[in-house]
Amino acid sequence: MTTSRISGFYNMTLDGRRAKIAEALAPLTPPDLGAWTSGGISAEAADHMIENVVGMHSLPLGIALNFMVNGKDVLVPMTLEEPSVVAGASFMAKLARAGGGYQATTTDPLMIGQMQVINVTNLNEAKLKIYEQKAELLAEADSIDPILKKFGGGARDLEVRIFDNSPIGGFLVVHLIYDVRDAMGANAVNTACERLAPKIEAITGGKVHLRILSNLADRRIARARCTIPVKSLAFDNFSGESVRDGIIAAYAFAAVDPYRAATHNKGIMNGVDSVVIATGNDWRAIEAGAHAYAVKNGHYTSLSTWGKDTEGNLVGTLEMPMAVGIVGGATKVHPAAQAAVKLMGVKTANELAEIIVSVGLAQNMAALRALATEGIQRGHMSLHARQVAIAAGATGEQVEKVAAQMVAEKVVRIDRAEEILKSL
């Protein structure tokens, strides 16, 4: 099976879903699936990852269906605690399929390393002296990581910026632009900056203070676009046109108001972070990059845009930094993360970034569609109702029955759940 459309997945048992996934993508082995059953790592393995370990903390892992990215079907693993997110992404991906799915692109995986140079007598002179030595400095940085170089990565550029009015007076900032290929890149970039520091000091006569990568990874951008046929947006009493215009008006709100943009972008990050976490990547880095990028024009705004094409179809775009890797860190050592990468069949970090940005766009549309029509609570209510039914003692098929009746009655309370349960 090569499609990401699996009918009835929602209603299958846990084991049934696992079997379906294994069948969907041949390379997934029993140990891969086992990593998801157990959570992936033992406390002993965790003890080697961070300090003062006392145990483990699990999150649910769900699979988003229906995604087609650049013409290829993909099942997307999502790790998060919030209900409605996986269902929302899957449903929007289904609508997007009718318009060809998601078209996604990435820049080269260029990360920025920063070196802060203080105690410089003449900032302008020092800046030009660094540029005069640029070729030598880049060659030095390039020689640090032969493996990365073998795979086509390495130092690409050097830029010097002057800050002449900081709280400590003037200083220089040297940016090292580094192609990190399939790595997240923090280690490679930090190592390169530390290696260049003495040379920068010798050239400038100053002192290199901080040497660290920037999470505003604005040279490493992922972009996704989708077209949703206006007809497919219609549901209940809402016409396709009204849903489309509602989504566009909701986007306009986020475009102009930072208070709304923060929540709008949070909805995007619901999708983005959950795939980032499932693949063992650093979601704080992605969050930092996303929000810093959202303010790149001087005011905090939406990372996505929504409008229409000449035929009146809904068109969405999303553009954001995406510093994710597939070869190092937790992605490499965490079997559950390895299984997630395998499930998506990605061979490069850029392919992973293209899927993640597509999921972010789908998630954003799910939120805007709900907010612009029936409101967010209805979808939440049915999931909440299932939790209330379970709390009232419902098990197996009873859960769905009790929840459905409470939603139909618009009374989602434990006492009502208990009554319905008795009557079954």
Name the site residues for ligand MEV (rule: CB under 6 A): 82, 263-264, 266-267, 270, 367-368, 371, 376
Considering the complex, state which of residue 25 and residue 367 has its C-beta at the smaller distance from ligand MEV: 367
Q: Which amino acid appears at position 99 of this protein?
A: G
Considering the complex, state which of residue 156 and residue 266 has its C-beta at the smaller distance from ligand MEV: 266
Give me the catalytic one of 82, 125, 309, 415: 82
Considering the complex, state which of residue 383 and residue 411 has its C-beta at the smaller distance from ligand MEV: 383
Give me the catalytic one of 32, 142, 182, 282: 282
Question: Catalytic residue at 48?
Answer: no
Residue 313 Cβ vs ligand MEV, minimum distance, rounded to whole Å: 21
Residue 368 Cβ vs ligand MEV, minimum distance, rounded to whole Å: 6
Question: Catalytic residue at 15?
Answer: no
Residue 308 Cβ vs ligand MEV, minimum distance, rounded to whole Å: 19
Considering the complex, state which of residue 217 and residue 367 has its C-beta at the smaller distance from ligand MEV: 367
Considering the complex, state which of residue 82 and residue 125 has its C-beta at the smaller distance from ligand MEV: 82
Considering the complex, state which of residue 97 and residue 264 has its C-beta at the smaller distance from ligand MEV: 264
Among 113, 192, 114, CA closest to 149: 192
Residue nearest ligand MEV (C-beta atom): 267
Considering the complex, state which of residue 155 and residue 368 has its C-beta at the smaller distance from ligand MEV: 368
Give me the catalytic one of 207, 266, 308, 401: 266
Secondary structure of the chain as H, E, C letters: CCCCCCCCHHHCCHHHHHHHHHHHCCCCCHHHHHHHHHCCCCHHHHHCCCCCCCCCCCCCEEEEEEEEECCEEEEEEEECCCCCHHHHHHHHHHHHHCCCCEEEEECCCEEEEEEEEECCCCHHHHHHHHHHCHHHHHHHHHCCCHHHHHCCCEEEEEEEEEEEEECCEEEEEEEEEEECCCCCCHHHHHHHHHHHHHHHHHHHCCEEEEEEECCCCCCCEEEEEEEECHHHHCECCECHHHHHHHHHHHHHHHHHCHHHHHHHHHHHHHHHHHHHHHCCCCHHHHHHHHHHHCCCCCCCCCCEEEEECCCCCEEEEEEEECCCCCCCHHHHHCHHHHHHHHHHCCCCHHHHHHHHHHHHHHHHHHHHHHHHCCCCHHHHHHHHHHHHHHHCCCCCHHHHHHHHHHHHHCCCCHHHHHHHHHHC
| CA end-to-end distance (rounded Å), the chain | 39
Question: Catalytic residue at 47?
Answer: no
Give me the catalytic one of 94, 199, 342, 380: 380
Which two structure tokens, joined as six digits, stand for 244? 């489309």
Question: Catalytic residue at 175?
Answer: no
Residue 264 Cβ vs ligand MEV, minimum distance, rounded to whole Å: 5
Q: Which residues are designated catalytic?
A: 82, 266, 282, 380
